[in-house]
C-alpha cells in the first residue's frame, strides 16, 4: 500500500488542500441535468481571526455540502465577508489604520484560516460587502426600494454624545453614558432614511407558516417580533381646540371605562396643548426628562409609572365624556398612534398609574365568576373575559361580542374603524458613520431629494480619510465626496453623507452568490432562478430576528419587483448553539478563548472538525474539551492504523472466499447498519455526534473482526468494510479520507464518489434479542429466531421467567413485536 504507517496530518492536509485548490475542485456552475442544492452558512464579520463559533458553523455546513454532493446534488457552497461595520472605524481611531486596509487584511487572514480548515467553498464566488463591486448593488437595491416607494425619510431620535459631537450606536452607550468619554448620552432628532418593512408585516407573518424547515423557536420569536394585534382606531377630540387625537386599542369593549387618556411625551401635539398655560413648565420638564431615557429604562417592568397632567381634556366619542389628558413614561411614540385611551379597571399599567395619580377607576367588564367591587376598592386590573356593564346600550354583551359591536358602532357613526396594528417598526437604515455603503441620494436646493441615477453607481466611498478621535464620521468633511452636481438640474448639490446599516448589505448577499460577477445588475435572473432559494441556511440563533427578518423582507420586495421567483429565501434553517469553555461563552475578557489556529496546528483540521461535530448536536451549546480533542485525534489514528493494516493484508492475501462465515455476516451487518445510521443521522436529524459514534463503533467492530479472524478474514468483506468506512468518514474528516481512499488503490477523489447505500438483505437477521419483563421490570433476555410466532414467544417467555412469577398468576401478556414480552402478574 502506498500509505505510510504514520498518520502525518500536516503533510496530508496541506497536500489535499493544494490539490483541491489547483484543480478548482469546488467550483460549480449551473447544471440543468443535476438537482441543485444551495448550502449556505452565515458569512462572518472579518473581525481579525476565526473563532470556534465560526469553525463550528462552517464545519457543520461542510458536512452537509460534502454529503449532498456525494448524493449527486450540484452543490453551491459559497463564502464571503460582511465587511462594513463599526469595529473597523474603532481600529482606525485607535491604531490609525484606515478601515479599508484593516478590513482587507483581516479578510486575507481569515480566508487563509478557512482554507486551512479544508472547507469546500467555491472561492470564485467570494463576495465582500465593502468592495465597490458589491456595494454598487447595495446602492442599486436602495434605489430600487426608493422607486418602489419603500424608502422614505423622516425624523427619528439617535443617541447623541454632546462632548464627542457624534452619534452613538446602542452598543456604544454604556449605562446611559458615552463609552468613550462617559458623558451622559442625549437623544437628538435627525432626518433619517427608513425602509417600509411594515408594509410587509402581514406577509412576513403569514409566510412563517410555509417555513416548515425552520425551528419553531425562531418562528415564534419572529411572530412575537411582528406582534400583530387586532382592534380599532378612533379619535378623541381636544376640548376647546377641536383637535383630533387618534388612539389604537385592542379592547374597544372597554371604551366606556376610559377615565383619562395618555400621550407619549414625544407626541407632536404636546406643545400646542400646553403652550401658554400654567402647566407648560412642568410638562416641558417632564418631556425633557423622558427624552434622554432609553426605551428600556423607561418601560422596564420595575420602572415606576410616571406622568404629568397637561391641564387639558378630551372628549370620548362614544359617550361624550370629558377625560383629562396626561403624559406618561409608559406610552411610546413608536407604537400605535403614540396615544392611548386609559382604562384603569381593565389594564394593569393604567391601573397602577390611576392609583398613583388618583384617577377614577371604572369597572365596565364584570367578572362572572367573582364579582368585582364597583366602589373603587379594586386591587388590580381585571383583564379577563366578562359581561359589559356601565356601557350604555352595550350592557349585557360579552367582552368578546362587545369588541366587534363597538367597532361596528364606531364605523356606522364614522367615529373610528377596525384596525390591525403591528409591533414591528419601519427599518431605520441611516447610519451617521463612515464605514458603510453610502446612501445614493443627492440634495439639491432646486430639486430637493434626488436619487442618484442607476448608471452613476457606485457612489464611491473615499478610502483616504482622516479620523477624529471623537468617532465622528469623516465623510462630512470630504469635499470631493460631498460636493457634487444635481443629477436632475446640474446645479451644485450635496451628497447624503449617511451610510447604510450593514444589515442592508447582508439582506441580499445570498442572491449575489448566484452570479457574483454580474456587472450591471445585483444578480442575473437565470442564475438566481436556478440556485434560489437557499436549501439549507446555517448560523447562530442570535440572528433569529433581525438578519433573518430583513433577508425575508428583501426577498419579498425583489419578488414583487419581478427580479426573483421565490418569496422566501431560506427553505431550511439550522440554528447552532454556542461554543463554551468552562461553562461560559468564550471571550477575551474571561480569558477562556481557545484559538482554532492553535488547535489546527497541534491536531489538524480533521481532528478539530471531528471533535466539534462529535461533542454535541449542532443546536445545543458545546463545551470545549482539550481531552475530547485528543480523543478524536486518537480515533483518527486508530482509523489510519486499521486501514493501513487491512489494506496491506488484502494486498498480500490470495484466498478468495465465497461462503460467508457468521463473523463475516456480522461484520457486513455492522457495515450496512452504519451506512444506514450515518445517512439518516446526517439527512434527517443533523445529529453528527451520533453519526460519528456509529462510525467509531464500526471501527471497533472491524478491529474485533480482524483480531478474531486473523487470516480467515474474507477479502471481499474486508474491502467492503474499508471502502464504506472511508466514504462515511469523508464529510467529517475530508483530508484523511482522501489520503486513505487514494492509499487503498482508488482512482479519483473520495469526495466525487457516490454516497454508499445500504443493502437491506445484509440487515436481515435470523435471530433477535427479546426482553422479558414481569410487571414492567426487566427479568431476562432471550435470543429467538426472527420468525418466531407470537404464541411460541410468549410460551418461551413464560417458562423463562417462571421463578420471577412464583405463585402469582398471570393476568395479561403484552408482546411488542421484535422488542419485548411483558408479563403482568398479580
In the complex, what is the shortest distance from the CB of residue 352 to RNA, in angstroms, rounded to a whole number?
7
Q: Which is nearer to RNA, 284 or 779 (CB)?
A: 779
In the bound state with RNA, the residue whose beta carbon lies nearer, of 34 and 585, is 585
- The continuous run of DSSP H or E covering 146 comes out as helix 132-147
Q: Give the C-alpha separation, 263 to 266, whole Å.
A: 8
What's the closest the beta carbon of residue 785 comes to RNA, in angstroms? 16
Phi, psi at residue 51, to the nearest 5°? -115, 175
Identify which of residues 488 and 625 has a Cβ nearer to RNA in the complex.
625
Q: How far is the CB of 6 from RNA (least distance, A)?
A: 10
CA distance linking residue 128 with residue 666, whole number of Å? 53
* Number of other residues whose CB lies within 10 A of the CB of residue 30: 15
Q: Which is nearer to RNA, 73 or 703 (CB)?
A: 703
Of 483 and 620, which has the nearer Cβ to RNA? Answer: 620
Q: Measured from the CB atom, is 40 or 262 closer to RNA?
A: 262
- Is residue 550 within 8 A of residue 42, CB to CB? The reply is no
Q: Which is nearer to RNA, 67 or 140 (CB)?
A: 67
Q: Residue 148, Cβ neighbours under 10 Å: how many? A: 14
Task: Report the C-alpha gap between 654 and 650 in whole angstroms.
Answer: 8
Closest approach, Cβ 623 to RNA, in A, equals 4
80 membership: H or E segment, kind and range: strand 80-81
Euclidean distance between CA atoms 196 and 550, whole angstroms: 11
- Find the helix or strand (DSSP H, E) in which 332 lies: none
Taking the complex as a whole, the smallest distance from the CB of residue 319 to RNA amounts, in Å, to 18
Could you identify the residue written with the cell 403482568?
Answer: 824
CB of 741 to RNA, least distance (A): 22
Q: How far is the CB of 677 from RNA (least distance, A)?
A: 6
Q: Supply the minimum distance, in Å, between the C-beta of residue 670 and RNA.
A: 12
Do residues 198 and 426 lie in contact, with contact meaning Cβ atoms separated by under 8 Å?
A: yes
Residue 664 C-alpha cell reads as 463475516
User: Please, which residue, 180 or 677, has the CB nearer to RNA?
Assistant: 677
Between strands 74-76 and 36-41, the pairing is parallel
| Residue 181: Cβ within 10 Å count | 13
| Least distance between RNA and beta carbon 546 (Å) | 8
Nearer to RNA, 529 or 630 (CB): 630
Closest by CA position to 255, among listed 114, 175, 350, 188? 350
Q: What is the DSSP letter of 125?
A: G
Residue 309 or residue 454: which is nearer to RNA going by CB? 309
The reply to whether omega before 562 is within 30° of 0 (cis) is no
Q: How are beta strands 186-195 and 229-238 bridged, if at all?
A: unpaired
Give the integer Cα–Cα distance in Å for 410 and 404: 10
Contact (Cβ atoms closer than 8 angstroms) between residue 794 and residue 821: yes
- Least gap, CB of 221 to RNA (angstroms): 5
Amino acid at each position: 500500500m502506498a500509505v505510510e504507517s504514520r498518520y502525518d496530518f500536516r503533510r496530508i492536509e496541506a497536500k489535499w488542500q493544494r490539490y483541491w485548490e489547483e484543480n478548482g475542485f469546488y467550483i460549480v456552475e449551473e447544471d440543468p441535468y443535476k438537482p441543485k442544492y444551495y448550502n449556505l452558512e452565515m458569512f462572518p464579520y472579518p473581525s481579525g481571526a476565526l473563532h470556534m463559533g465560526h469553525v463550528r458553523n462552517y464545519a457543520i455546513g461542510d458536512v452537509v455540502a460534502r454529503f449532498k454532493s456525494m448524493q449527486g446534488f450540484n452543490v453551491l457552497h459559497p463564502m464571503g465577508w460582511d465587511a462594513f461595520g463599526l469595529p473597523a472605524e474603532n481600529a482606525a481611531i485607535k491604531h490609525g489604520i484606515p478601515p479599508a486596509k484593516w478590513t482587507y487584511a483581516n479578510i486575507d487572514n481569515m480566508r487563509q484560516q478557512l482554507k486551512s480548515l479544508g472547507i469546500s467553498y467555491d472561492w470564485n464566488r467570494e463576495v465582500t460587502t465593502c468592495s465597490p463591486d458589491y456595494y454598487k448593488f447595495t446602492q442599486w437595491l436602495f434605489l430600487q426600494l426608493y422607486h418602489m416607494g419603500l424608502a422614505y425619510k423622516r425624523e427619528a431620535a439617535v443617541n447623541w454624545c454632546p462632548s464627542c459631537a457624534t452619534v452613538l450606536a446602542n452598543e456604544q452607550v454604556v449605562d446611559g453614558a458615552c463609552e468613550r468619554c462617559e458623558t451622559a448620552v442625549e437623544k437628538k432628532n435627525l432626518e433619517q432614511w427608513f425602509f417600509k418593512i411594515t408594509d410587509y408585516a402581514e406577509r412576513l407573518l403569514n409566510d412563517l407558516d410555509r417555513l416548515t424547515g425552520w425551528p419553531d423557536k425562531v418562528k415564534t420569536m419572529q411572530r412575537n417580533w411582528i406582534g400583530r394585534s387586532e382592534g380599532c382606531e378612533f379619535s378623541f377630540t381636544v376640548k376647546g381646540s377641536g383637535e383630533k387625537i387618534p388612539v389604537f386599542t385592542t379592547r374597544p369593549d372597554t371604551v366606556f371605562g376610559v377615565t383619562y387618556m395618555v400621550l407619549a411625551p414625544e407626541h407632536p401635539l404636546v406643545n400646542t396643548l400646553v403652550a401658554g398655560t400654567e402647566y407648560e413648565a412642568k410638562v416641558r420638564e417632564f418631556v425633557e426628562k423622558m427624552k434622554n431615557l432609553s426605551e428600556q429604562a423607561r418601560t422596564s417592568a420595575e420602572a415606576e409609572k410616571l406622568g404629568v397632567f397637561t391641564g387639558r381634556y378630551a372628549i370620548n366619542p362614544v359617550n361624550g365624556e370629558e377625560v383629562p389628558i396626561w403624559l406618561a413614561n409608559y406610552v411610546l411614540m413608536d407604537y400605535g398612534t403614540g396615544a392611548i385611551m386609559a382604562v384603569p379597571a381593565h389594564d394593569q399599567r393604567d391601573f397602577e398609574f390611576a392609583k398613583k395619580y388618583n384617577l377614577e377607576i371604572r369597572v365596565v367588564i364584570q367578572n362572572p365568576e367573582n364579582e368585582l367591587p364597583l366602589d373603587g376598592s379594586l386591587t388590580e386590573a381585571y383583564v379577563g373575559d366578562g359581561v359589559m356593564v356601565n356601557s350604555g346600550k352595550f350592557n349585557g354583551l360579552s367582552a368578546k361580542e362587545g369588541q366587534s359591536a363597538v367597532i361596528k358602532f364606531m364605523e356606522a357613526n364614522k367615529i373610528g374603524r377596525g384596525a390591525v396594528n403591528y409591533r414591528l417598526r419601519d427599518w431605520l437604515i441611516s447610519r451617521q458613520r463612515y464605514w458603510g455603503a453610502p446612501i445614493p441620494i443627492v440634495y439639491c436646493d432646486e430639486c430637493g431629494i434626488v436619487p442618484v441615477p442607476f448608471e452613476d453607481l457606485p457612489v464611491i466611498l473615499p478610502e483616504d480619510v482622516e479620523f477624529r478621535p471623537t468617532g465622528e464620521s469623516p465623510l462630512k468633511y470630504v469635499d470631493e465626496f460631498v460636493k457634487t452636481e444635481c443629477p436632475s438640474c446640474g446645479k451644485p448639490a450635496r451628497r447624503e453623507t449617511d451610510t447604510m446599516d450593514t444589515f442592508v448589505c447582508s439582506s441580499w448577499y445570498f442572491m449575489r452568490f448566484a452570479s457574483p460577477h454580474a456587472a450591471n445588475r445585483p444578480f442575473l435572473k437565470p442564475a438566481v432562478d436556478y440556485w434560489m432559494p437557499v436549501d439549507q441556511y446555517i448560523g447562530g440563533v442570535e440572528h433569529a430576528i433581525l438578519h433573518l427578518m430583513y433577508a425575508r423582507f428583501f426577498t419579498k420586495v425583489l419578488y414583487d419587483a419581478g427580479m426573483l421567483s421565490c418569496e422566501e429565501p431560506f427553505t431550511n434553517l439550522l440554528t447552532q448553539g454556542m461554543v463554551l469553555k468552562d461553562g461560559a461563552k468564550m471571550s477575551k475578557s474571561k480569558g477562556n478563548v481557545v484559538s482554532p489556529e492553535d488547535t489546527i496546528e497541534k491536531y489538524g483540521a480533521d481532528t478539530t472538525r471531528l471533535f466539534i461535530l462529535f461533542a454535541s448536536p449542532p443546536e445545543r451549546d458545546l463545551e470545549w474539551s482539550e481531552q475530547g480533542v485528543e480523543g478524536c485525534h486518537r480515533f483518527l489514528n486508530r482509523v489510519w492504523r486499521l486501514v493501513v493494516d487491512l489494506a496491506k493484508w488484502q494486498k498480500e492475501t490470495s484466498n478468495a472466499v465465497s461462503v460467508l462465515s457468521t463473523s463475516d455476516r456480522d461484520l457486513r451487518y455492522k457495515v450496512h447498519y452504519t451506512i444506514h445510521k450515518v445517512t439518516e443521522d446526517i439527512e434527517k436529524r443533523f445529529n453528527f455526534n451520533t453519526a460519528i459514534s456509529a462510525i467509531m463503533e464500526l471501527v471497533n467492530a472491524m478491529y474485533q473482526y480482524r483480531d478474531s479472524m486473523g487470516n480467515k478474514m474474507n477479502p471481499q468483506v474486508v474491502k467492503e468494510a474499508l471502502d464504506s468506512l472511508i466514504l462515511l468518514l469523508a464529510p467529517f474528516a475530508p483530508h484523511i479520507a482522501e489520503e486513505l481512499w487514494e492509499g487503498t488503490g482508488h482512482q479519483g477523489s473520495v469526495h466525487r464518489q457516490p454516497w454508499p447505500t445500504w443493502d437491506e438483505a445484509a440487515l436481515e437477521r435470523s435471530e433477535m434479542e427479546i426482553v422479558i419483563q414481569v410487571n414492567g421490570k426487566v427479568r431476562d433476555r432471550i435470543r429467538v429466531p426472527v420468525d418466531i410466532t407470537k404464541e411460541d414467544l410468549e410460551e418461551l417467555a413464560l417458562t423463562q421467567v417462571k421463578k420471577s412469577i412464583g405463585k402469582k398468576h398471570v393476568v395479561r401478556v403484552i408482546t411488542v413485536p421484535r422488542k419485548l414480552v411483558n408479563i403482568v402478574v398479580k
